[in-house]
Structure 1
Amino acid sequence: MTVYEAELVVDRKELAADGVLALTLRHPLGEQLPAWEPGAHIDVVLGPELERQYSLCGDPADRTRWRIAVLREPDGRGGSAHVHEQLGQGDKVRVRGPRNHFRLEPAPRYRFIAGGIGITPILPMLAAAEASGAQWTLLYGGRTRRSMAFTEELGRYGDRVMIAPQDESGLLDLASVLGEVPDGTLVYCCGPGPLLDAVEERCPAGALHVERFQPKEQPGGEDGEFEVELDRSGLTLTVAPGVSVLDTVRAAGVEVLYSCTEGTCGTCETDVLDGTPDHRDSVLTREEQESGETMMICVSRCRGKRLVLDL
């Protein structure tokens, strides 16, 4: 599958909230950008070994611009600091994508829950839900009102949006949103890990869709040696204990797209032709993991002694 990659221009850079910058990107020659749907993200290449994923939070109907928002993380790994301190209006930045593992499925009713910068993939979902005529509500929390991005945009939706800053109202009242979830209602949640974990505990099976910015804690699995056959490359490689499939494949000279190496972005998703993956990612749904059709080779391994991959 060919992935769109291009250098885009920072057309606009503005403060969306305390510590949050919104960047609007366009093609330098005015060319149309690939179509995308709510929940999609792009890879932003900020430098050698410095690549981050950001959700698209603009209007999918506008093929001339992409908008992302970046939270400044003082204890981060350098990506947000680079965006806040070094990227300016008129600068060029390389991007890839879009990709989407957080699609908005059709439903008559939605309950959206966002924490902090987790509002970014939710924002275009609200417009899509509104356009479809679905019933929906949003519970949006953050540390303070000033730290919560896009609250002015959300104002147009009236009382369907509940803004709940922690310093004013405490932790999000999830019971009020998830106490009774009617059949046919889908719940979409994005935000910090503790929020997602709390929502997962309360949400009916099959109703919940989440996107994680940090890897979910995984139960321990077997880290033993196994073989991986690369069908298109004609190679059979041994994956050693403690070494990822991704690193093994790259060491053999096989090029593969990757980014986070934590199992959260979905960039290295690879088709599985034979064998059973030991899934350790935070991207695929339970149903997708159980199907065994794809795996994230940066973190997932093998339940057995052999995998055949479409590489």
Structure 2
Amino acid sequence: MSEEHELDLVVTSHRQIADQVAQLVLQRPDGGELPKWTPGAHLDLIMEPGLVRQYSLCGEPTDLTRYKIAVLREPKSRGGSRYVHDHLSDGAVVHMRGPRNHFELDPSPRYLFIGGGIGVTPLVPMVAQAVADGADVRIEYGGRSRGSMAYLHELESEYPDRLTVHPQDEVGMIDLDSVLKVPQPDTLIYCCGPEALLQAVEERCSAWPDGALHLERFAPKELGDPIRTESFDVVLERTGKTVTVPPDKSVLEMLDEAGVFTVSSCQEGTCGTCEAVVLEGEVDHRDSLLSPAEQAANDVMYPCVSRAKSARLILDL
């Protein structure tokens, strides 16, 4: 797991860049250099006690004087996007944790980027990196309307021959059947957006090579019941403690009850903050981060949601 950084940042710019989308520029109060990041990374913003949200970095990874995020004001906000829009004005100070990247841009000669709405934010620096590396790049970008689509003008200006725009009120949804019908060799797909888009892309990529599709989710995907309905033990290798996890509690909850501090954030398997290394045992992976191949490797788990298939897990904690 990459090193975690925590520091206060000051908002040096807050402006509307699309309908209900605010862009924030964040810098250190002393103007110093920020932790390094790579395309696909996100930050935890800790805005007030109990209010922690993850936002993708969408600026220039080479410019470590500032971080840039873009946040959609959600109509049914649970508090995060509303706080960003209403309270994080110029001069406001907010605590951050990260950056963290579970959506890394893997090397490839060809990429297909599919963005839906605010899901374009992690793709913006990815596209720039892929183009700079000389890859063949296609971008399919959909949104409710042109006015709601963040960074549309920049993408149209910089990549006019690589970008196809799908404003829903003009042309309807992205024609995924056409875009994904024929698997393309040596092509990686990166997609971020609402869950309906991600599910539709997953379905249409079933015939593509394993590992071709990379997704980032805003919300956890729906899962059935856990595989193991009985309690199981979690052995903590570093401390020698053994924690029993009952059916109605998460591994993370039981770690907390045992006094084992584990950094966590989303509590729903989407941010990756609580990643734990698995030394022994079979994991019932219930996160929305790891690919099927990564889950099959069985070397890390997210104890906020994932459980055990076996009677015992040994974690590097």
State the TM-score, normalizing by the size of structure 2. Answer: 0.96
**Superposition deviation, residue 174 in structure 1:** 1.0
Structure 1: 5+ residue runs without aligned partners?
none
Provide the secondary structure at the position in 1 that maps to 2:121. helix
**Superposition deviation, residue 248 in structure 1:** 0.4
Structure-2 residue corresponding to 1:96: 97
State the TM-score, normalizing by the size of structure 1. Answer: 0.98
Of 209, 230, 234, the match for 1:228: 234
Structure-2 residue corresponding to 1:37: 38
Structure 2 counterparts to residues 172-187 of structure 1, below 5 A: 172-187=174-189
Render the CA deviation track for 1:45-71: whole Å, top value 9, x for unaligned.
Answer: 011110000000000010100001111
Of 222, 247, 253, the match for 2:253: 247
Task: Give the Cα–Cα distance (whole angstroms) in 2 for the partners of residues 226 and 181 of structure 1.
Answer: 42
**Superposition deviation, residue 74 in structure 1:** 2.0
Structure-2 residue corresponding to 1:300: 306
Identity of aligned residues (%): 54
1:160 aligns with 2:166: no
AA of the residue aligned to 1:218: L
1:208 aligns with 2:213: yes
Task: Give the Cα–Cα distance (whole angstroms) in 2 for the partners of residues 220 and 2 of structure 1.
Answer: 33
Structure-1 residue corresponding to 2:23: 22
Cα pair 1:111 1:177 within 8 Å, conserved = no
Task: Give the Cα–Cα distance (whole angstroms) in 2 for the partners of residues 195 and 157 of structure 1.
Answer: 23
Cα pair 2:20 2:72 within 8 Å, conserved = yes
**Superposition deviation, residue 218 in structure 1:** 1.6
Task: Give the Cα–Cα distance (whole angstroms) in 2 for the partners of residues 121 and 162 of structure 1.
Answer: 17
Provide the secondary structure at the position in 1 that maps to 2:160. helix
Render the CA deviation track for 1:17-45: whole Å, top value 9, x for unaligned.
Answer: 11111101011111111111100001100
Task: Give the Cα–Cα distance (whole angstroms) in 2 for the partners of residues 179 and 228 of structure 1.
Answer: 44
Task: Give the Cα–Cα distance (whole angstroms) in 1 for the partners of residues 310 and 271 of structure 2.
Answer: 26
**Superposition deviation, residue 261 in structure 1:** 0.6
Task: Give the Cα–Cα distance (whole angstroms) in 2 for the partners of residues 119 and 248 of structure 1.
Answer: 37
AA of the residue aligned to 1:159: D
- Cα-Cα RMSD: 1.0
Cα pair 2:275 2:303 within 8 Å, conserved = yes
1:117 aligns with 2:118: yes
1:280 aligns with 2:286: yes
**Superposition deviation, residue 95 in structure 1:** 0.3
**Superposition deviation, residue 140 in structure 1:** 0.5
User: What stretches of structure 1 move > 4 A for 4+ residues in a row?
Assistant: none
Task: Give the Cα–Cα distance (whole angstroms) in 2 for the partners of residues 228 and 292 of structure 1.
Answer: 15
Structure 2: 5+ residue runs without aligned partners?
none
